[in-house]
């Protein structure tokens, strides 16, 4: 039985490097309005603090986990996952409503911050641009009391504690996304090979923590799943393919 060259197997990357784990997903110790005197009738009127995380979309594809690397062109979408109530507010049963405010910052390598966008109310999304390559994006959320819900008095404090999250550092991928090799060049029917991919950025640095998706067209000759796994080296990814036999490789 003749052998078939593994090169017949075409592995096309759909470049879905995915982004972002929040390096910090904790509530900031900074408290806006904390030092305002809580005089009656405003005792216990601090709004609850919003808890948030985020996801990424690329070309309309969503569902990417936070633990991946963000790249330019991705849509960064924050979302609320809960809230932390102020104990005094629960005790005094204040009835004010609040609106969530979002501020997006570019965080440079020296930890300096540059405001990119502030929204009230939040639209919860921002497009990652090439200007942000090499930096992180920090998202701050807090709730601000709606004055129309407090007729005749001024709630003190009017804003909640800040909740913040950060992406990983944004990278720009090389146009040549990967070097593809395999541990076998020829396969008999029923034999498998491991395809190895090395992914680098434009500065030739290997990139780990990507979510790679294969875009080949399956045929009866090949048995493979699009579950490319991380290898043991930086920027290395592995996929196992099996040749079933036949001439339509």
Higher per-residue pLDDT: 2 or 209 = 209
CATH number for the region 4-16+172-243 comes to: 2.60.40.10
Higher per-residue pLDDT: 137 or 3 = 137
Mean pLDDT of the chain, nearest integer: 71
Work out the burial of residue 196: count CB atoms within 10 Å of its CB; fewer than 13 is exposed, 13-18 middle, 19 or more buried.
middle
Which of 238, 240, 239, 242 has its CA nearest to residue 222? 242
Look at residue 201 and tell me whether its pLDDT is greater than 50. Answer: yes
**Binning pLDDT at 50, 70 and 90, where does residue 71 land?**
confident
**Binning pLDDT at 50, 70 and 90, where does residue 224 land?**
low
Question: Measured between alpha carbons, how far is 43 from 193 in angstroms, rounded to an integer?
Answer: 68
Domain range list for the chain = 4-16+172-243, 27-166
* Of the ranges 27-31, 64-68, 202-206, the best mean pLDDT one: 202-206
What value does the mean pLDDT take over residues 232-243?
Answer: 83
């Amino acid at each position: 039985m003749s052998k078939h060259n593994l090169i017949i197997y075409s592995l096309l990357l759909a470049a879905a490097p995915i982004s972002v784990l929040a390096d910090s997903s904790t509530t900031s110790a900074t408290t806006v309005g904390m030092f305002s005197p809580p005089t009656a009738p405003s005792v216990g009127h601090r709004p609850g603090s919003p808890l948030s995380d985020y996801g990424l979309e690329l070309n309309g594809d969503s569902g990417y986990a936070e633990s991946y690397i963000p790249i330019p062109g991705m849509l960064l979408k924050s979302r609320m996952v809960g809230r932390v109530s102020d104990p005094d507010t629960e005790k005094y049963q204040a009835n004010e409503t609040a609106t969530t405010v979002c501020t997006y910052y570019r965080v440079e390598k020296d930890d300096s911050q540059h405001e990119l966008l502030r929204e009230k109310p939040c639209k919860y999304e921002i497009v990652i641009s090439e200007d942000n390559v090499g930096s992180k994006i920090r998202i701050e959320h807090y709730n601000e009391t709606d004055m129309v819900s407090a007729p005749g008095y001024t709630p003190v404090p009017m804003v909640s504690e800040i909740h913040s999250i950060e992406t990983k550092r944004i990278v720009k991928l090389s146009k040549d996304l990967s070097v593809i090799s395999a541990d076998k060049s020829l396969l008999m029917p029923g034999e498998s090979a491991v395809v190895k991919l090395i992914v680098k950025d434009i500065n030739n640095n290997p990139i780990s923590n990507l979510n790679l998706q294969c875009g080949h067209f399956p045929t009866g000759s090949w048995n493979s799943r699009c579950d490319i796994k991380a290898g043991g080296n930086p920027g290395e990814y592995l996929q196992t393919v099996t040749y079933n036999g036949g001439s339509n490789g």
